[in-house]
Chain A
């Protein structure tokens, strides 16, 4: 039950409170670029959620077994090479290049796979896939997962990592669809020329970010609620 409470907290934390776009300001390029129409925005959100989950799965696996301090694979090789068991081998310098590498190639693979076997799916969001191969929101999710794999006492499992990714994806979809709705209404508005286009969009994004600050503390409330339920 404790575990479930943690998962719920991670999910809402990533989706609402620490929304990737509106709290950390990562993934801004698709957020501004593809938020002109609601259906396009929803397609983009789904594609990001999909890719972010795959990236989380892969990056958790790589980080857990290879990149984190005291990871099994390098330690085993170190001992095999006859090194001192007291000394730690830390490969976390490789994390960035590894993540970018793994995300980009897995997205390429998924794109080819979807194109071959699910043509309707490819038609609906396949065109967005190449756009998000090196999206910073996805890299951010991977780094966030890495952060929680540093302390050997509190290691995240795969479930936590995937929950963070899906929560982040849902939060991104929510933010971009809201943005697209607002921008569709903005089409009818008389915006002063200097603010048209990107200007007013960034202002709206800032106001939305402030609105999302209202979710601060919701995670504590959810935790209290779940604790009360357990008791």
Chain B
């Protein structure tokens, strides 16, 4: 009798509770319904969904809300590219203003050996740029790339690597999310509008005078102003040349400036030119070595 009663009571109680909760939640779902703008949903579907944050919003959804409310420009999504902007323009009925693909550019090209002299005692601290930037004497140049790869770790797209101690962007992979620019403690990565496949950039961030720069780097800019005199699109600011990318048309504008540059501070980045490809045409590609993950899982950067 007791067992039977307990069982029945349990079953009835749970059944009642289930029905009651189902009714309450069903009613609440109706009563507290929040209408989501169908436009926001449509925009959200068009966006790439990478949630990279390059547009300045927390995620793709936040950007979609801002676009739907008309608070954000249509051309902020770097990964989406032109097709995304066109789709957004169609959805919102606004005019499409295609944005140039902004890509990260490292304003330093000196390898670790070139940035010597490393002073003694050698830096043996944390192998991160953020930590190395805090101490003096890591390397000669106090403005250039530290080469410890904070940007490499920040990049989710495998588009930036530390090669010979200097960060080099892989433009096949870069989507322009600005993650590397945000993390660089020396602020030497900036976003440049790529109007052509290869762009001329200033590969030095050292604003010191000629003697001081020469003392720490064999290729850094010595602020001789030759390029600024030879090209209208360049001007000196803070002892460094600035390229006016708004007026940038063609790399041919810079032929004279390049010729006159006594250092190697003006370089092209992006896709290689046909003449460059010709030069290396007979060279064989090195065999690509695939990592054997069964034996080489450890990428420990242990300096201890």
- The answer to whether A and B interact is yes
With a CB–CB cut-off of 8 A, which chain B residues contact A102?
17
Interface residues in B212-259 by Cβ distance below 8 A to A read: none
Q: Please tell me if the beta carbons of B126 and A89 are within 8 angstroms of each other in the complex.
A: no
- Interface residue total, chain A, C-beta cutoff 8 A: 30
With a CB–CB cut-off of 8 A, which chain A residues contact B24?
105, 109
Q: In the assembled complex, how far is the CB of residue B135 from the closest CB belonging to chain A, in whole angstroms?
A: 13
Complex formed: what's the CA distance from A109 to B302 in Å? 50
Interface string of A54-92 (1 = CB under 8 A from B): 000000000000100000001001100101000101110
Complex formed: what's the CA distance from A66 to B13 in Å? 9
Which residue from A78, A189, A193 sits with its C-beta under 8 Å from B299?
A: A193
Q: Does B301 contact A (CB under 8 A)?
A: yes
Q: In the assembled complex, how far is the CB of residue A96 from the closest CB belonging to chain B, in whole angstroms?
A: 12
Q: Please tell me if the beta carbons of A188 and B9 are within 8 angstroms of each other in the complex.
A: no
Known: A77-B9, A190-B301. A101 touches B17 (CB 8 A): yes
Complex formed: what's the CA distance from A192 to B126 in Å? 11
Which residue from A83, A93, A94, A98 sits with its C-beta under 8 Å from B5?
A: A83
Q: In the assembled complex, how far is the CB of residue B14 from the closest CB belonging to chain A, in whole angstroms?
A: 7
Q: Please tell me if the beta carbons of A116 and B130 are within 8 angstroms of each other in the complex.
A: no
Interface residues in B82-141 by Cβ distance below 8 A to A read: 126-128, 130-131
Q: Does A113 contact B (CB under 8 A)?
A: yes
Q: Does B280 contact A (CB under 8 A)?
A: no
**Nearest CB to that of A90 among chain B residues?**
B6
Which residue from A81, A87, A90, A192 sits with its C-beta under 8 Å from B302?
A: A192
Known: A89-B9, A193-B299. A108 touches B25 (CB 8 A): yes
Q: Does A112 contact B (CB under 8 A)?
A: yes
Q: Please tell me if the beta carbons of B13 and A113 are within 8 angstroms of each other in the complex.
A: no
Q: In the assembled complex, how far is the CB of residue B11 from the closest CB belonging to chain A, in whole angstroms?
A: 10
Complex formed: what's the CA distance from A66 to B25 in Å? 22
Which residue from A77, A97, A188 sits with its C-beta under 8 Å from B128?
A: A188
Stretch at the interface among B26-34, B193-201, B264-272: B26-34
Q: Please tell me if the beta carbons of B32 and A74 are within 8 angstroms of each other in the complex.
A: no
Q: Does A115 contact B (CB under 8 A)?
A: yes
Which residue from A89, A101, A105, A192 sits with its C-beta under 8 Å from B6?
A: A89
Q: Please tell me if the beta carbons of A113 and B32 are within 8 angstroms of each other in the complex.
A: yes
Complex formed: what's the CA distance from A44 to B36 in Å? 25
Q: Does B10 contact A (CB under 8 A)?
A: yes
Complex formed: what's the CA distance from A98 to B9 in Å? 13
Q: In the assembled complex, how far is the CB of residue A130 from the closest CB belonging to chain B, in whole angstroms?
A: 13
Q: Please tell me if the beta carbons of A116 and B302 are within 8 angstroms of each other in the complex.
A: no
Q: Please tell me if the beta carbons of B300 and A193 are within 8 angstroms of each other in the complex.
A: yes
Complex formed: what's the CA distance from A113 to B33 in Å? 9
Q: Does B2 contact A (CB under 8 A)?
A: yes
Q: In the assembled complex, how far is the CB of residue B134 from the closest CB belonging to chain A, in whole angstroms?
A: 10
Binding site for A on B (CB under 8 A): 1-2, 5-6, 9-10, 13-14, 17-18, 21, 24-25, 28-29, 31-34, 126-128, 130-131, 298-304
A-B contact pairs, 20 of them (CB 8 A): A83-B1, A87-B2, A89-B9, A90-B6, A93-B10, A94-B14, A98-B17, A101-B18, A109-B24, A112-B29, A113-B32, A188-B128, A188-B130, A190-B127, A190-B301, A190-B302, A190-B304, A192-B300, A193-B301, A194-B300
Binding site for B on A (CB under 8 A): 66, 74, 77-78, 81, 83, 87, 89-91, 93-94, 97-98, 101-102, 105, 108-109, 112-113, 115-117, 188-190, 192-194
Known contacts A89-B5, A188-B131, A193-B300, then 11 further A-B pairs from the complex at CB < 8 Å, ordered by chain A residue: A78-B5, A83-B5, A87-B2, A89-B6, A93-B10, A94-B13, A105-B21, A116-B33, A116-B34, A188-B126, A193-B302
